[in-house]
Structure 1
């Protein structure tokens, strides 16, 4: 028997006297971003020297990703009584991810062919060298990629930078606990306690966000500067506009038709997470809060637990648009524009390559360079052209990927009837606000595991 969204209780009220102080944190992030831009423009060398602050904060967040994914998936699958339901959710999710990746590629293809932003540019030897330097050995061939998902040991899945290894171990553990039935309930409760601890640690780490945002923004502005961006303004603007239209027109239309949800309302609900991504240029920094907020929104824990972690590896809409437009830009810049017959095979190859680099730090640029090296080596020389602005474009990539995964979870919850639509309306209207202290106290996602006692399990409305 599945645990549906209707069984998800509203969050308990915060203890008397407790105040939400997290809004001060996000005000501090905004101030830190403004200060970082100022330092990067006034003292570029000092700004570049501050880069370790941003890197350190993102690394702290990445440190938490594996335990969060493990706990979320184990609790999501373990609390489902029918294994077939997990297969249905996973199958729908993967099918949707593939379709939307192709749609994103097609949109990027159209915009790139209309703008031709790389026409008339010239390359230097230094730029060519920078392009070849971006070819990453982490982007594996398909067979090696599949084998790399299997960890050396059960524990090593948590000590490497391979998120998909954690995903595999969590899936196995979740199905094992599901098969154990009532004997596995104590383990599920234990995992719930571990998740509560993880979110408590995360809430402590988040207070370092202003420092990380200050260092990251100062470094990128100090290294690129204003003049370095002018020659690439058309590409950047075209990319940002394309991502905006993809989220608010394409995804917005699908979300409205399928789920009856306004994408503007959903993005407003996730505004703090979007600000965090904008300041850190990493969608991973908002992963824990996305999981918690989608559960609060009314999507069932199994759907959130399966769709969100899987989407972070396979639903990279922003990355698809980026690789399409960047490939066409590079081809034009090299004076070798590709015909449509050449573009489509290259982009389909990059579609597969992007999955092979899932979880790799800086996967956008590394995957682009690695894919071009494998499929069309002559274009690698041009990757150096976009190295200087990749950090700015990575923000749009991360925001689009995040929005795509949020929309996907709501859609899959609707298709599988694992969403409480009345609760969605209440939450998005502001009548049932998310408790911003939820990730750090006893009412957080750690309490999300509802393991019904034998004979008292709530029947879903559509059972």
Structure 2
């Protein structure tokens, strides 16, 4: 107790700005842009650094999702509580995803993206990246039956090996339900073992995140060096419009949701600013999932709600992906001079509501499910995918960022609706983010051993 009192009396000094991960990643992004513009060949060759970092992160994502969902179900204590949180989150996901698709389509028409490019621009860009786009398009042919079947694994280990997030979620939910059905004396040692394994994975992520600046530098240098200024200029309006659309969605749509549920959006963004910077640098929302599983309980959501909602949102609540798909199909229709009818627009929305849910389950993420949408539409030229492939890297930064912010808001909203929210913690996080982080770490360290490793402690 004396050590605890001493710790509370003498809080740790704040680290210098230059030692913060967010600052280091920001500097790495700037250096990556400089290298990519001045030495494009060198920049293009640095792709390996970004790929290594993302591969290391992805090795822990599936196990962490499994562990946090199982822990969240076990901590809930009964199926009724799990069902209430799950149903509330699902309804929220569907409503906001629909709004995001409509918003993306409306923004594309408002900004008139792709208009005037004509067949010349399309054919020029189609030569570059056509092979890549064709490969991605070939992966996108899937029927509803195939998509639904793919959600359910045929092999426990295979779902983890292939990184199929939806399959891992299914396994975690069933395993958590099975664990909850055991008697407390039989359940306790299993929970303790999972907590120990979870702690080891969290430390694993801690070590990998030290490489984030290096990975970001390589990824950004490659994006700039490989695409060149010609591509950036040719599609600058699309990229600029997309970023303005994403900013508008966060400020207007998510801002309105936060206003309705009395959430301080600016405070939340400030609380997760380091994670946002990492996502912008890596263009991958997976890179910050472990850290968000740790931090969000510090903003007031219960560990059980975070453990259930956040991983599920990574598969079902992809606001940025929905906006990208809406703007992408309009861009291609304008580029090829195709007028989309209201009937076709309605069909596209139905397709996008389905395919957007598969972004976390296929290799290639958002671009692959966008290819699935274009292919399924039947009236948007598939070869037009190459037109967007050159700048997808730049747009994916905004996509991933919007997905992360949207899921954080979804988690807090669900927690509030289900009575799983502590306003005092949110007030502290809004007032002093670093103090809130220290508090949640202290809460973890003082918790009983069986509590450790649960969702709140998915530390990065």
**TM-score w.r.t. length of structure 2:** 0.89
Match of 2:409 in 1: 407
Q: 1:387 aligns with which of 374, 385, 389?
A: 389
Q: Which runs of 5+ in 2 are unaligned?
A: 454-460
Counterparts of 1:295-334 in structure 2 under 5 Å? 295-334=297-336
Match of 1:6 in 2: none
Matched, 1:71 2:72: no
Cα 1:341/1:431, change in 2 over 3 Å? closer
For residue 160 of structure 1, report the CA deviation from its aligned partner. Answer: 1.6
For residue 378 of structure 1, report the CA deviation from its aligned partner. Answer: 4.1
Match of 2:236 in 1: 233
Q: 1:212 aligns with which of 212, 215, 223?
A: 215
- Return the alpha-carbon distance in structure 2 between the equivalents of residues 110 and 369 of structure 1: 20
Secondary structure of 1:119 counterpart:
coil
Q: 1:93 aligns with which of 89, 110, 117?
A: 89
- Return the alpha-carbon distance in structure 2 between the equivalents of residues 198 and 18 of structure 1: 26
RMSD, aligned CA: 2.7
For residue 367 of structure 1, report the CA deviation from its aligned partner. Answer: 1.1
Q: Indicate the larger mover: 298-307 or 17-26.
A: 17-26
- Return the alpha-carbon distance in structure 2 between the equivalents of residues 419 and 300 of structure 1: 6
Per-residue displacement from partner, 1:342-394 (whole Å, max 9, x unpaired)?
A: 22211220220121342324321111112211222542121111111110000
Per-residue displacement from partner, 1:56-94 (whole Å, max 9, x unpaired)?
A: 101111111011101101111011222011111111111
Q: Indicate the larger mover: 247-256 or 134-143.
A: 134-143
- Return the alpha-carbon distance in structure 1 between the equivalents of residues 448 and 325 of structure 2: 37
- Return the alpha-carbon distance in structure 1 between the equivalents of residues 39 and 79 of structure 2: 58
Cα 1:389/1:432, change in 2 over 3 Å? closer
Per-residue displacement from partner, 1:154-213 (whole Å, max 9, x unpaired)?
A: 222222221112111111111111111312022112111111111101000011111101
- Return the alpha-carbon distance in structure 1 between the equivalents of residues 63 and 71 of structure 2: 12
Contact 1:138 1:357 in 2 (8 A): no
Contact 2:195 2:452 in 1 (8 A): no
Match of 1:84 in 2: 80
Contact 1:139 1:356 in 2 (8 A): no
Contact 2:89 2:414 in 1 (8 A): yes
Secondary structure of 2:137 counterpart:
coil
Contact 1:199 1:439 in 2 (8 A): no
For residue 281 of structure 1, report the CA deviation from its aligned partner. Answer: 0.4
Cα 1:438/1:263, change in 2 over 3 Å? closer
Counterparts of 1:19-418 in structure 2 under 5 Å? 23-121=19-117, 122=119, 123-124=122-123, 127=126, 129-130=130-131, 131-137=133-139, 140-182=142-184, 183-258=186-261, 260-376=262-378, 378-418=380-420
Cα 1:202/1:232, change in 2 over 3 Å? same
Q: How many residues align?
A: 440
For residue 436 of structure 1, report the CA deviation from its aligned partner. Answer: 6.9
Q: Indicate the larger mover: 16-25 or 166-175.
A: 16-25
- Return the alpha-carbon distance in structure 2 between the equivalents of residues 441 and 214 of structure 1: 35
- Return the alpha-carbon distance in structure 1 between the equivalents of residues 237 and 220 of structure 2: 21
Secondary structure of 1:418 counterpart:
coil
Secondary structure of 1:120 counterpart:
coil
For residue 35 of structure 1, report the CA deviation from its aligned partner. Answer: 1.4
- Return the alpha-carbon distance in structure 2 between the equivalents of residues 111 and 253 of structure 1: 18
Contact 1:357 1:363 in 2 (8 A): yes
Secondary structure of 1:134 counterpart:
helix
Contact 2:320 2:401 in 1 (8 A): yes
Contact 1:134 1:366 in 2 (8 A): yes
Contact 1:331 1:382 in 2 (8 A): no
Match of 1:4 in 2: none
- Return the alpha-carbon distance in structure 2 between the equivalents of residues 420 and 159 of structure 1: 37
Contact 1:292 1:445 in 2 (8 A): no
Q: Indicate the larger mover: 345-354 or 46-55.
A: 345-354
Secondary structure of 1:358 counterpart:
coil
Q: Indicate the larger mover: 210-219 or 118-127.
A: 118-127
Cα 1:40/1:401, change in 2 over 3 Å? same
- Return the alpha-carbon distance in structure 1 between the equivalents of residues 446 and 56 of structure 2: 20
For residue 438 of structure 1, report the CA deviation from its aligned partner. Answer: 7.7
**TM-score w.r.t. length of structure 1:** 0.88
- Return the alpha-carbon distance in structure 2 between the equivalents of residues 15 and 28 of structure 1: 30
Q: Indicate the larger mover: 27-36 or 329-338.
A: 27-36
Secondary structure of 1:360 counterpart:
coil
Contact 2:32 2:220 in 1 (8 A): yes
